[in-house]
Amino acid sequence: MEWIDSGIVLGVRRHGEANAIAELMTRAHGRHLGLVRGGAGSRLRPVLQPGNSVRAVWRARLDEHLGHFVVEGLELRAASFLPVSHAVFGVTHLAALCRLLPERDPHPAVYDAVVAILDRMHDRALAGAHVARFELQLIAELGFGLDLERCAVTGEAADLAYVSPKSGRAVSRAAGVPWQDKLLRLPRFLVEEEPRTAPSPEELADGLALTGFFLGRYVFEPRGQAAPEARAHFLAAVLQARRAAG
């Protein structure tokens, strides 16, 4: 068995003296593990850092085997993330989110979204918005998509401002006023085709509170898991950066 694919390094662990087991999010083969000979050595260690993009060749005698990776670095971003706290936590959080997907189950849209976020991770103003939108996408990929196109009460598509925590459906500002204390706030950047301007710290906190609520309800709680600690650290770092920027 053999295939070639592009992949993002999610994590790596040492295996023996010189080898390593790499976990990649590949475009056509999903989240995939494989043994990298010499992966713990000085030549490949900088390549096998979370957040880097690689070209991977996977070989195994049988499809169900762990198999071996031969990797070549394509985009080595990890070193540039080290001085940027929100980027370090963001990469760790993205990897944790990808691990929610079944192993070896292709999700090309998720792969493309992660690459796009990593390429823009240094943008302190928009990094939080991109991650929140990715969480929304992942919820949908896992089969729990929210209905944010029309108001659940009026059927209108304009001025959507809230989301019902019970149904996961949007509610317009006017219809939601009587119950606003019981509804989740829906910031505009979550429903725009692409965020045009950086959300305020309050909007960013609202967006991540919304996606965090549904990740907890539909994903983490049924699995008996808590949200990754990196998520809270990422939120704190991007909010600090946004407030410092004014």
Q: What is the mean pLDDT of each run of 10 residues along the chain (246 residues)?
A: 97 95 98 97 96 98 93 97 95 97 97 97 92 97 95 95 97 96 96 85 95 96 94 93 72
Q: Are residues 97 and 121 in the same domain?
A: yes
> Which of 148, 25, 149, 166 shows the shortest CA–CA distance to 96?
25
Quick one: tokens of 33? 């593990």
- CA–CA distance, 136 with 209 (Å, rounded to integer): 11
Q: Are residues 44 and 135 in the same domain?
A: no
- CA–CA distance, 146 with 87 (Å, rounded to integer): 27
**What is the per-residue pLDDT for 125?**
87
For tokens 């691990």, name the residue: 99
**What is the per-residue pLDDT for 240?**
87
Residues 6+ apart with CB under 8 A from 80: 87, 122
> Which of 138, 182, 140, 139 shows the shortest CA–CA distance to 162?
182
**What is the per-residue pLDDT for 93?**
97
Are 183 and 171 a contacting pair, CB within 8 Å?
Answer: yes
The CATH number of residue 54's host domain is 2.40.50.140
- CA–CA distance, 40 with 37 (Å, rounded to integer): 8
Give the SS3 label for residue 62: coil
In a domain, 15, yes or no: yes
The answer to whether the pTM exceeds 0.85 is yes
**What is the per-residue pLDDT for 60?**
94
Q: Are residues 65 and 87 in the same domain?
A: no
User: At residue 61, what is the residue type?
Assistant: R
Residues 6+ apart with CB under 8 A from 64: none
Total count of domains within the chain: 2
Strand locations in the chain (E): 2-15, 19-26, 30-36, 53-59, 68-75, 160-163, 170-172, 184-185
Domain end (from 76, 95, 125): 76
In a domain, 72, yes or no: yes
**What is the per-residue pLDDT for 145?**
92
Q: How many residues comprise the chain?
A: 246
Give me the residues paired with residue 234 across strands: none
Domain that holds residue 92: 81-148+186-245
Q: Are residues 112 and 227 in the same domain?
A: yes
**What is the per-residue pLDDT for 143?**
94
